[in-house]
Structure 1
């Protein structure tokens, strides 16, 4: 089980987390399916389908946020509301007013909601207390915010901060492309995006295409900067770095083959082995990436 994306947050290094205490805190916001009158339900679920909301492997912690949302398109609500409004007009001899239409729409929604189909999605969270990382497997900052808000609602002991580095990812990626050289330990791959800061936001994208250094330098000279760049770290993990420090499209390379001999037919043991491998590799990747971006910004400056 590997994360496909990373929204990265910082925790104090060597943070001591009591797993049983955290499990009890998360239980206050445990997931339950939508009731017939609810449009959405959200809460913590067991990562391994047992009674534990925190799954630990060594000192690494794994959480799972589950969200269920009813599929009730506004077009359906509006269609039924319109039909009911026509019936009401025929009965009373005049069209319902604005307030009556609002009340009618609310009643239609309540009527249709129990029959709406619920769709579940899961968002995985990895906490590395030893190195001070909290990672969320999502490409969307909005979904990451949902995780953080619910987590802080359960416990106030996690002093979370956004990861701040001395060199902006956009400036760093632009420099790497301009010099056609990635920082030590990294290789530039074949996907990138350059965008201008002019009003038209002119954008050039390379998708699975060899990046021509001369062509790229012309775009940079014209004022475009790199907003996305595909990289490979130590021939072990490929990913896309964005201007917001979001890491997308994570793909382990030969390291899964290297780990084959250690695998087991036991599903729980295999899950733990994958999690241990992922956490070790991604921690190493983040350390090198932060170094390549000039190191972390001191807290006083970041504030």
Structure 2
């Protein structure tokens, strides 16, 4: 249930949308498997494998973006196309020209598509209507872009904005490494990456290694800046912070795993319990993280702010 990555976006807080309205928006764009001639298809799927495209509990919503892509290796298409071209050359007495080769390749692709394997990818979206968060569980910016594009297509005038903070994550993370301490409520873990913005991009990475303050100071005085930093919030959630304010490798720690409702009787109750716990903890963690970055400076909300989200400074 826990999101592994947090691509952060802002909504009005509170956002007055109900499950019925959300279902109405998503339904015209529900996922349907691609037909025999479509390379890929995408749409909204049910989070609980029922008739609803939106799962809602206590003002928290969960959506699922589903993409299906057919696997048709270019090498296979090329191999079959060459064989067909050789047969055609024997028949007509000369090699096929560019136009004929293009038509042959299109014909081969159409013939092979129905036999191609399909893979599906589900990407979850968490909407906190109370505190104004829309979070996409995607490590890849390209995947997040696909999800945002369908959100905009599905929801007319979606008031989606960027997260703007007073202190850029790069300068904040560099300062924390220099002092050897995280901000209030956070501890520094043993993974980080420092990179020089100068030509050459000299980079130093620490993985599972003690971040010695003297070592960090030498790298920073040499002009390097922190580009990734592993942290833990209140001994409850570990994660990696990035310059764009995308949060990766989100992991609930043992104290939260033990907090799961032991009285849950079935899958539905466990799902409810896990979703409630995740949304509550991440809400608190994000609030503390924004404070650690100097506070939020305005959401940039509105349809015009739907460019790729960046951590902006005021």
Q: Which moved more, 1:163-172 or 1:230-239?
A: 163-172
For residues 263 and 202 of structure 2, the distance between their equivalents in structure 1, rounded to whole angstroms, comes to: 48
- Specify the alignment match of 1:58 in structure 2: 58
Q: Aligned-pair distance for 1:106?
A: 0.8
Matched position secondary structure for 1:161: coil
Q: Aligned-pair distance for 1:255?
A: 3.3
- Specify the alignment match of 1:130 in structure 2: 130
Indicate conservation of the 8 Å contact 1:263/1:273, yes or no.
no
1:137-181 Cα deviation digits (max 9, x unpaired): 011111111111111111124300121211111111011101111
The structure-2 alpha-carbon separation of the partners of 1:290 and 1:122, relative to structure 1 and needing over 3 Å to count, comes to same
For residues 192 and 313 of structure 2, the distance between their equivalents in structure 1, rounded to whole angstroms, comes to: 28
For residues 70 and 115 of structure 2, the distance between their equivalents in structure 1, rounded to whole angstroms, comes to: 9
RMSD, matched Cα:
1.5
1:63-96 Cα deviation digits (max 9, x unpaired): 0011110011111111111121122112211111
- Specify the alignment match of 1:148 in structure 2: 148
Matched position secondary structure for 1:215: helix
- Specify the alignment match of 2:222 in structure 1: 222
- Specify the alignment match of 1:255 in structure 2: 255
1:187-230 Cα deviation digits (max 9, x unpaired): 00000001111221111100111112111111111111110000
Q: Which moved more, 1:198-207 or 1:284-293?
A: 198-207
Matched, 1:83 2:120: no
- Specify the alignment match of 1:45 in structure 2: 45
For residues 20 and 275 of structure 1, the distance between their equivalents in structure 2, rounded to whole angstroms, comes to: 20
Matched, 1:202 2:202: yes
Matched position secondary structure for 2:37: coil
The structure-2 alpha-carbon separation of the partners of 1:118 and 1:252, relative to structure 1 and needing over 3 Å to count, comes to same
Equivalence map 1:1-303=2 (5 Å) = 1-298=1-298
Q: Aligned-pair distance for 1:302?
A: 7.3
Matched position secondary structure for 1:239: strand
For residues 85 and 297 of structure 1, the distance between their equivalents in structure 2, rounded to whole angstroms, comes to: 62
The structure-2 alpha-carbon separation of the partners of 1:8 and 1:179, relative to structure 1 and needing over 3 Å to count, comes to same
For residues 128 and 155 of structure 2, the distance between their equivalents in structure 1, rounded to whole angstroms, comes to: 16
TM-score, normalised by the number of residues in structure 1: 0.96
Question: Structure 1, unaligned stretches of length 5 or more?
Answer: none
Q: Aligned-pair distance for 1:299?
A: 5.2
Matched position secondary structure for 1:256: helix
Q: Aligned-pair distance for 1:25?
A: 1.3
Bigger relative contact order (CA 8 A; separation at least 6):
2
Q: Which moved more, 1:121-130 or 1:206-215?
A: 206-215
